[in-house]
Amino acid sequence: MKPTPKHCSPYLCSTLATTSKPKPTVTCLFMVDYQSSGISASAIVTYKAYWNFAMLVASKLNDASRFTGYPDSFGYASGISNHSRYPVNSYNVFKEVPMPADDLDDEIDLDLKDVDSTLAQASWQPSSQDQTCLIFFSAAVEAEYGGTTIKTTYDNFATVVGVLLGGAPSIPGLTDPVIATNLSDSEAQAVVQKLLDSLTD
Tens-place pLDDT, residues 3-19: 544 554 554 444 444 55
Any residues with CB less than 8 A from the CB of 3 and at least 6 apart, and which?
none
Residue 69 domain-assigned?
yes
Does residue 31 sit within a domain? yes
Query: Does residue 5 lie in a domain region?
Result: no
- Classify residue 162: in a domain, yes or no: yes
Domain span at 82: 23-198
Three-state SS string over 6-57 comes to CCCCHHHHHHHHCCCCCCCEEEEEEEEEECCCCCCHHHHHHHHHHHHHHHHH
The answer to whether residue 46 is domain-embedded is yes
Confidence band for 96, pLDDT divided at 50, 70 and 90: very high
Helix, strand, or coil (residue 125): strand
Q: Over the Cα atoms of the chain, what is R_g?
A: 19
Q: Cβ of 25: how many Cβ atoms within 10 Å?
A: 14
Structural domain includes residue 74: yes
pTM of the model: 0.89
16 in a domain, yes or no?
no
Average pLDDT, the chain: 91
Residue type, 35: Q
The mean per-residue pLDDT over the stretch 86-98 comes to: 97
Domain count, the chain: 1
> CATH number for the domain including 101?
3.40.50
Is residue 167, in this structure, part of any structural domain at all? yes
